[in-house]
């Protein structure tokens, strides 16, 4: 019996060797490469400098040499890298048969590990899943990158993907299918992966969230469901804002970590195991706040931001942390978070909502989400954020400040395109100019998603974070607090050094709201002391049952005398607002359409800056409603809560 097995082994090995022709010994990225012809197909094997003890290997299915960072990292760790080109076979029976033969050749000729790591880019997803489904005992794990998992999605183009007509005909031929039969075909990975999941083979997918060529919902999400339903290990890294390209990750650490965890854990090192670092930029300690808190003094902490600040979550955790750290301190907390408000309205409302409440010892401020989603210009982002920070330090030079940048999908997309979001660039200029600590939670969350620690879809979920996401924010902010506090013995209360000049002389650091009662010569305008909308459209808390200056028909006019460099109007930009116009000091009239992208479903508080580069003198504003309106608006109304003056 043993003799028969030996004879079979010799025959198999001989046939495999006979299948290899025209070998060429060369190099690839500094590693030895043997390139050959195997059964008429291009084949490659790359050798590490020193093979690891288990003779592990990764088998790339497609697009040799494209985004090779994972391959190179594994070669450096002693893995072999192999390739057999079966591109025009679309994972069909002939491709699987060739891979079976090549596997036998590799494991016999080079004594490679009996379990391989499968790596499939794009259409390579077809062969890695179809081969693994027939050879589950030969697979250690699977790394699939934007993989095709259903031939009807690509190249068929039967769903959202455009597909490829030429490839579709070749694909049908490879499987021996008609167009009609393909619609009922069960040989794509969205079916064959069931056997892979049942074998509990660990899988990692790395995909662009907005892939139009191989839509994630037609491919990867279906594979994910197969694995989740069967309790099989499946990990997904989604790259927000990325399409089909670029493949892989610039830093392949999470991919390499996944592969090592499922092949040779002893090769893991602390760098591969580590989480992404929190993005904390310590520009000052919190000595003034800490001196008061450790002495058991009265301490006032304010939180200025939008809805992510206003809502419960990270803010509650930070307050609890501060109280536990300083149980003798009499804390007073101010929640000055208002939905939809960014730095521009923040600069004008800071006096009323924050600084009028008493001396502020520690201020948390965030506006990166709303400044971006509200389409504030870079200039406005500077003027708004500097308005808050400079105003704060002028009011109390001992005030400690922490600036935060929260995450949203657009910021993640920017980072995934190697671009720092514009609003973070501008806000960081202010943080640097005034030497205040900033926390880039947008970058941290995106880095940690790319690091495979959690997902946006299932864990963080929204720009208004899930409890899990709120916990991410809270832990990083608390980490910053811990790093930015010195021992009490080394602390003396000191004034912050305020730069003699602002970054922008027109920043809103003298911003405040002027009462609507200051308006004069009102015609067809009334002051409604407790305004309530006359329709069923929702309102924002704090912007209902309050006084408004109200007019509803064209021709309504008033005037206002004010002193300052800037003038704006804070309005309820609901579904019935019209186009207004204004003149300052007898200038030509300029128009503003009050209707926003959200106006159709909300009486949205919105600040329109009319002018902000005026001479710092007395000015005269004339304001009126025109007979024009946005095509989506139902009326000509204007409702003013207050006048923003700088």
Domain at 568, CATH number = 2.60.120.260
Alpha carbons 410 and 426: distance in angstroms, whole number: 16
Residues 6+ apart with CB under 8 A from 197: 226, 227, 229, 230, 232, 234
**Residue 1 token pair:** 């019996």
My answer on whether 231 and 285 are in the same domain is no
Residue 549 forms part of a structural domain: yes
My answer on whether 600 and 540 are in the same domain is yes
First CA to last CA across the chain, in angstroms?
95
Tokens 């919105």, located at residue = 606
Residue 235 forms part of a structural domain: yes
Alpha carbons 590 and 580: distance in angstroms, whole number: 8
My answer on whether 94 and 226 are in the same domain is yes
Residue 499 forms part of a structural domain: no
Q: 3-class DSSP state for residue 183?
A: helix
Would you state the pLDDT for residue 419?
97
Residue 160 forms part of a structural domain: yes
Q: Which CATH number is 78's domain given? A: 3.40.50.1820
Could you tell me which of 293, 321, 302, 284 has the C-alpha nearest to residue 359? 302
In the chain, % helix, strand, coil (3-state, to 5) comes to: 35, 25, 40
Alpha carbons 601 and 447: distance in angstroms, whole number: 34
**Residue 441 token pair:** 């939670």
221, 238, 265 — which closes off a domain? Answer: 265
Would you state the pLDDT for residue 425?
98
Beta-sheet pairing, 579-584 with 617-625: antiparallel
My answer on whether 595 and 469 are in the same domain is no
My answer on whether 349 and 477 are in the same domain is yes
Q: Report which DSSP code applies to 589.
A: P
My answer on whether 348 and 469 are in the same domain is yes
Would you state the pLDDT for residue 1?
45
Q: Report which DSSP code applies to 460.
A: I
**Residue 637 token pair:** 């109304």
Per the DSSP assignment, residues forming a β-bridge with 136 are none
Name the stretches of the chain with pLDDT < 70: 1-18, 486-493
My answer on whether 456 and 574 are in the same domain is no
Alpha carbons 71 and 58: distance in angstroms, whole number: 8
Would you state the pLDDT for residue 94?
97
Q: Report which DSSP code applies to 636.
A: -
200, 234, 265 — which closes off a domain? Answer: 265
- Which residue range forms the structural domain that includes residue 241? 2-265
Tell me whether residue 546 is exposed, middle or buried, using C-beta atoms within 10 angstroms of its C-beta: 0 to 12, 13 to 18, 19 or more. Answer: middle
My answer on whether 306 and 438 are in the same domain is yes
My answer on whether 353 and 468 are in the same domain is yes
**Residue 414 token pair:** 């920017």
Alpha carbons 212 and 490: distance in angstroms, whole number: 58
Distances (CA, A) of 477 to 79, 214, 312, 451, 607: 40, 38, 15, 20, 29
Q: How far is CA 97 from the centre of its chain?
A: 42
Would you state the pLDDT for residue 215?
98
Tokens 């750290």, located at residue = 325
Residue 498 forms part of a structural domain: no
Q: Does the CA dihedral 221-222-227-233 come out positive or negative?
A: negative
Q: Which CATH number is 469's domain given? A: 3.40.50.1110
My answer on whether 120 and 215 are in the same domain is yes
Would you state the pLDDT for residue 497?
83
Residue 355 forms part of a structural domain: yes
Give 436-447 as a 3 state SS string: CEEEEHHHHHHH
The DSSP-derived string for 243-303 is -S-S-S-SS-HHHHHHHHHTT-GGG--HHHHPPPPP-EE--S--HHHHHHHHTT-EEEEEE
Would you state the pLDDT for residue 173?
96
Would you state the pLDDT for residue 15?
47
Alpha carbons 152 and 101: distance in angstroms, whole number: 28
Question: How many domains is the chain partitioned into structurally?
Answer: 3
My answer on whether 600 and 461 are in the same domain is no
Q: How far is CA 441 from the centre of its chain?
A: 10
C-beta neighbour count of 284 within 10 angstroms: 16
Residue 569 forms part of a structural domain: yes
**Residue 461 token pair:** 């979920």
265, 296, 328 — which closes off a domain? Answer: 265
Tokens 């992966």, located at residue = 193
Would you state the pLDDT for residue 19?
76
Element (H, E) at 188: none
Residues 6+ apart with CB under 8 A from 14: none
Give 527-567 as a 3 state SS string: EECCCCCCCCCCECCCCCCCCEEEECCCCCEEEEEEEECCE
Could you tell me which of 369, 359, 361 has the C-alpha nearest to residue 337? 369
Residue 273 forms part of a structural domain: no
My answer on whether 134 and 220 are in the same domain is yes
Q: 3-class DSSP state for residue 166?
A: helix
Would you state the pLDDT for residue 496?
78
Alpha carbons 598 and 90: distance in angstroms, whole number: 46
């Amino acid at each position: 019996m043993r003799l028969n097995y030996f004879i079979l082994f010799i025959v198999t090995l001989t046939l495999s060797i006979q299948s290899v022709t025209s070998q060429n010994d060369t190099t690839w990225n500094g590693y030895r490469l043997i390139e050959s012809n195997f059964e008429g197909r291009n084949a490659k094997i790359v050798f590490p400098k020193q093979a690891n003890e288990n003779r592990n290997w990764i088998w790339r299915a497609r697009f040799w040499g494209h985004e090779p960072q994972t391959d190179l990292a594994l070669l450096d760790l002693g893995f072999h890298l192999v390739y057999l080109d079966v591109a025009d076979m679309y994972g069909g029976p002939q491709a699987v048969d060739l891979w079976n033969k090549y596997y036998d050749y590799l494991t016999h000729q080079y004594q490679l590990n009996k379990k391989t790591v499968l790596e499939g880019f794009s259409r390579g997803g077809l062969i890695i899943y179809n081969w693994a489904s027939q050879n589950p005992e030969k697979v250690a794990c699977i790394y699939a990158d934007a993989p095709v998992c259903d031939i009807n999605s690509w190249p068929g183009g039967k769903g959202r993907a455009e597909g490829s007509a030429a490839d579709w005909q070749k694909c049908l031929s490879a499987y021996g299918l008609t167009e009609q039969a393909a619609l009922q075909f069960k040989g794509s990975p969205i079916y064959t992966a069931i056997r892979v999941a049942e074998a509990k083979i660990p899988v990692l997918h790395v995909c662009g969230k907005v892939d139009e060529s191989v839509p994630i919902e037609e491919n990867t999400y279906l594979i994910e469901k197969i694995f989740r339903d069967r309790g099989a290990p499946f990990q997904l890294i989604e790259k927000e804002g990325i399409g089909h390209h670029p493949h892989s990750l610039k830093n392949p650490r999470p991919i390499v970590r996944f592969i090592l965890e499922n092949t040779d854990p002893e090769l893991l090192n602390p760098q591969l195991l580590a989480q992404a670092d929190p993005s904390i930029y310590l520009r000052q300690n919190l000595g003034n706040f800490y001196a008061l808190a450790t002495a058991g003094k009265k301490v006032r902490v304010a939180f200025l931001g939008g809805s992510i600040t206003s809502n419960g979550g990270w803010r509650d955790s930070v307050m609890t942390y501060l109280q536990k750290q300083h149980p003798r301190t009499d804390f007073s907390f101010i929640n000055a978070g208002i939905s939809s408000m960014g730095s521009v309205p923040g600069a004008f409302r800071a006096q009323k909502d924050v600084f009028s409440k008493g001396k502020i010892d520690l201020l948390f401020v965030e506006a990166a989400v709303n400044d971006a989603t509200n389409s504030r210009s870079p200039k406005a982002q500077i003027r708004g954020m500097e308005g808050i920070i400079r105003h704060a330090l002028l009011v109390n030079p001992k005030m400690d400040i922490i600036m935060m940048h929260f995450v949203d999908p657009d910021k993640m997309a920017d980072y995934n395109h190697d671009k720092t979001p514009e609003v973070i660039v501008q806000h960081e200029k202010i943080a640097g100019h005034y030497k205040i600590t900033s926390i880039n939670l947008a970058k941290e969350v995106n880095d940690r998603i790319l690091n495979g620690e959690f997902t946006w879809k299932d864990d963080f979920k929204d720009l208004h974070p899930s409890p899990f996401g709120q916990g991410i924010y809270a832990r990083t902010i608390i980490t910053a607090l811990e790093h930015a506090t010195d021992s009490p013995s080394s602390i003396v209360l000191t004034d912050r050094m305020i730069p003699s000049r602002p970054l922008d002389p027109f920043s809103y650091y003298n911003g405040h709201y002027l009462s609507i009662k200051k308006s004069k010569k009102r015609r067809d305008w009334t002051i409604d002391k407790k305004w309530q909308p006359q329709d069923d459209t929702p309102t924002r808390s704090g912007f209902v049952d309050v006084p408004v200056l109200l007019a509803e028909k064209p021709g309504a006019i008033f005037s206002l005398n004010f002193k300052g460099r800037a003038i704006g109007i804070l309005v309820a930009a609901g579904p019935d607002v019209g186009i207004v116009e204004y003149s300052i000091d007898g200038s030509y009239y300029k128009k503003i359409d009050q209707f926003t992208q959200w106006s159709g479903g909300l009486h949205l508080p919105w600040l329109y800056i009319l002018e902000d580069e005026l001479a710092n003198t007395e000015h005269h504003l004339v304001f009126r409603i025109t007979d024009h309106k946005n095509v989506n608006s139902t009326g000509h109304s204007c409702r003013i809560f207050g006048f923003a003056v700088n």
